[in-house]
Structure 1
Amino acid sequence: MKALVLAGGKGTRLRPLTHTSAKQLVPVANKPVLFYGLEAIRDAGITDVGIIVGDTGREVREAVGDGSAFGLDVTYIPQEAPLGLAHCVLVAREFLAGDPFVMYLGDNFLVGGIRGLVDAFRAEECDARILLTRVAEPQFYGVAELGPDGEIVALEEKPEHPRSDLAIVGVYTFSPAIHEAVRAIRPSARGELEITDAIKWLIDTGHRVRSHFVTGYWRDTGRLQDMLECNRIVLEAVEPDVAGTVDGLSEVSGRVVIAPGAVVEGSVIRGPAVIGADTKIIGSYVGPYTSIGEGCVIEDAEVDYSIVLADSAIRGVRGMTHSLIGRNAEVTKATGVPNAYQLMIGDHSKVQVRA
């Protein structure tokens, strides 16, 4: 069995970060979201992996390499434009050959892995097994309707009046029958080949399509609040590990990871939190559910429930919370008069200030 991992797309909901970076490489607890998916695939016993890449392909290649660091053998498959999930199956036809495969959306975050899904697909003969979870607002998702034996009998994409609360999670298993399905469908109104249309084709032509339920935690990490929530979930499980330097004037409590080379001086860190390698925390407060990347400087500042990416600096700023700070960013306190905000904000940014 093979795996097809989707790491293309434009990540419009996480702009401006994704103007210059792959959305699948935004970190959760200082590890890219994509890495969690690759580890889940490996833990399910699959080692032959194709990764669909687009405009950010170079960055993904540099991060993942040949896959050996994960125990995988990785093949990169370029997609010229984001023309839909079913189009990814089309362009990966040569790699997939006649083998069954799992398709994993690289920006999905799934706690509990996919071994149950893969084992169930292998054990029971069917042409597709789709991962589902119950959600509070199914109108924002692809929604599945089940028959009495757990078979999928209908699919709707973001229906105005959903007939169930079962959302389609971004992990699928397919037999080679899916290749005929993706060739048979036509682009949707948004100009993409939809995987839901291909699955509908399987259902309509008498192929067996089964369901499988998420047993752990799942999030599509396309929005800020989803990233912060995933960060919280992972940090809840970290084991304390202080490998960096903490001076006698500092207080570190709870589940805190401080990587080698990091320095904490005159500061308070309350876990769960992760501090990256070679980062300096000076005269500051780092609160729960915060991940600070490597090479950062947090000085005379207060940060909690946030993600700060590598090589960024926060100086003299109090009360920063629920924030995602990109790489090589600088957030500082203004000096002098007038007492005013000075902002340089990129396209699609969001800033909240207390007036």
Structure 2
Amino acid sequence: MKGLILCAGRGTRLHPFSYSQPKTLLPVANQPVLFHCIRKLLEVGVTDIGIVINPSHVQIPECVGNGSQFGATITYIHQDKPMGIAHAVRMSQAFLQKEPFILLLGDNLLMDSLTELVRGFQEKRSDGVVMLSEVKRPQDFGIAEVREGRLISVEEKPARPKSNLAVIGAYLFTTPIFEAIDSLQPSARGEYEITDAIQAMIDRGLVIAHRTATGKYTDVGTVERWLEANRWMLARELGKEVEIGKDSVVLNCEIIGPVLIGNGCRLENCRIGPYVSIQNGVQLLNCAHIENSILLEESCLQDVKWKLKDSVFGRSSHLKGELEKHMASVILSDKSSIHLPAGGGDEA
């Protein structure tokens, strides 16, 4: 069995952070989202992994390499244009050959193990398995209709959903998926939809099994969802603990876990947490309170007298301010600087 992770998307909803790096490399609990996907595959014994990327996303092979750091073998597959999930799968056929494969979306995080996905394939002797999850806004997702335990239809973003069970970013397919994809026409948005391919398989009488996720799931597609994913990943990995990296200095600080502090950081006279991840080389000096936030590499916050919550600070960004407020949410892109002088005026 092989693995396939799709990472060719533009990530426009994560601007400004996805201007400088692919969204699948943005960190959740100080690890790129893509790394979490790779480890999910390794947990079920899948080590031969293809990653679909846009040719311009050179940072992904630079970061992931050949897979040896994970004990995996990585093959890169180019998708020049974002023409949909099914198109990306079709572009990967030479790599996948005739083996069954697990398909993951590289910007999705799933708490559940993929064991149930594999078990559904083995026990049902199916031609594919999809992972489902209950959602609050089914019209925003590909929605599955299940009747008497059988998956009978899948529809992409229906105006009148037949259920609240969304097809989330974890699938297992066999070779009939390629014939189904070849029969597709582009959707109204000009993409080849994986939900249409699944429906084509069902219409041909092929068996598509399903499993319903019991744990949390999110796509890291917006800043809000990124912060949400970071929050529950920190809670899962640390509980209420605090982890401090090598050569980091923490002086006169109150830290409320879960908080993850990278290497070479300096924190002085601050209240931090809960749910804060701090990457390598960050400086936090005289900060009143930072909660539920992400600080990327080499960012610096100094003399911030108000509470920061639900904030993201880009790489090498700088915030210095003495303007007193009750609370603020700040989104600051890479290499940006804001200075709020003590007199009360704003200067950027």
Tell me the TM-score normalized by structure 1: 0.89
Partner in structure 1 of residue 139 of structure 2: 139
**Alignment-derived partner of residue 342 in structure 1:** 347
- Give the alignment of 1:1-355 within 5 angstroms: 1-148=1-148, 150-239=149-238, 254-301=240-287, 302-317=289-304, 318-333=306-321, 334=339, 336=341, 339-343=344-348
For residue 283 of structure 1, give the secondary structure of its aligned residue in structure 2. Answer: strand
What is the identity, as a one-letter code, of the residue corresponding to 2:268? I
Q: What is the letter of the counterpart of residue 72 of structure 1?
A: A
- Secondary structure (helix, strand or coil) at the match of 2:69 reads helix
Shift of 1:267: 1.6
* Superposition deviation, residue 205 in structure 1: 1.6
Between the aligned partners of 2:56 and 2:317, the Cα distance in structure 1 is 20
| CA deviation string 1:124-157 (max 9, x = no partner) | 2111111001111111111000121x22211111
Q: Is the 8 A contact 2:340 2:347 kept in 1?
A: no
| Range that drifts further, 87-96 or 200-209 | 200-209
Identity of aligned residues (%): 37
- Does the C-alpha gap of structure 1 residues 145 and 291 become closer, same or farther in structure 2, counting only changes over 3 Å? same
Give structure 1 stretches of 5+ with no counterpart: 241-253, 344-355
Shift of 1:202: 0.8
Assess, with a 3 A threshold, how the Cα gap between structure 1 residues 255 and 117 changes in structure 2: closer, same or farther: same
CA deviation after TM superposition for structure 1 residue 112, in Å: 2.6
Query: 8 Å contact 1:49–1:74 — kept in the other structure?
Result: yes
> SS of the counterpart of 1:340?
coil
RMSD of Structure 2 on Structure 1 (CA): 1.5
After superposition, what is the alpha-carbon deviation per residue over 1:140-177, rounded to whole angstroms, capped at 9, x for unaligned?
111000121x2221111112221101011111111100
* Deviation, structure 1 residue 119: 2.3
Q: Counterparts of 2:69 and 2:121 in 1: how far apart (Å)?
A: 27
State whether residues 289 and 304 of structure 1, in contact with CA within 8 Å, keep that contact through their aligned partners in structure 2.
yes
Give, in whole Å, the separation in 2 of the partners of 1:217 and 1:237: 11
Cα gap change, 1:272 to 1:337, in 2 (>3 Å): closer
Distance in 1 (CA, whole Å) between partners of 2:296 and 2:25 is 11
Indicate how the Cα distance of structure 1 residues 208 and 269 shifts in structure 2: closer, same or farther if over 3 A, else same: same
Structure 1 Cα separation of the partners of residues 57 and 99 of structure 2 = 25
Q: Displacement, 1:306?
A: 0.4
2:229 alignment partner, SS class: helix
Provide the C-alpha distance between the structure 1 equivalents of 2:342 and 2:117, rounded to a whole number of angstroms: 60
- Give me the whole-angstrom Cα distance separating, in 1, the residues matched to 2:160 and 2:347: 45
Contact conserved, 2:320 with 2:340, CA < 8 A, in 1? Answer: no
- Alignment partners' CA distance in 1, 2:135 and 2:340: 47
Query: Contact between 1:127 and 1:208, CA under 8 Å: does it hold in 2?
Result: yes
Residue ranges of structure 2 left out of the alignment (5+ in a row): 322-338
Count of residue correspondences: 329
What is the aligned partner in structure 1 of residue 334 from structure 2?
none
SS of the residue corresponding to residue 232 of structure 2 reads: helix
Instruction: Kindly indicate whether the alpha-carbon contact (under 8 Å) linking 1:278 and 1:295 is maintained by their aligned counterparts in 2.
Output: yes
Give the secondary structure class of the aligned counterpart of 2:45: coil
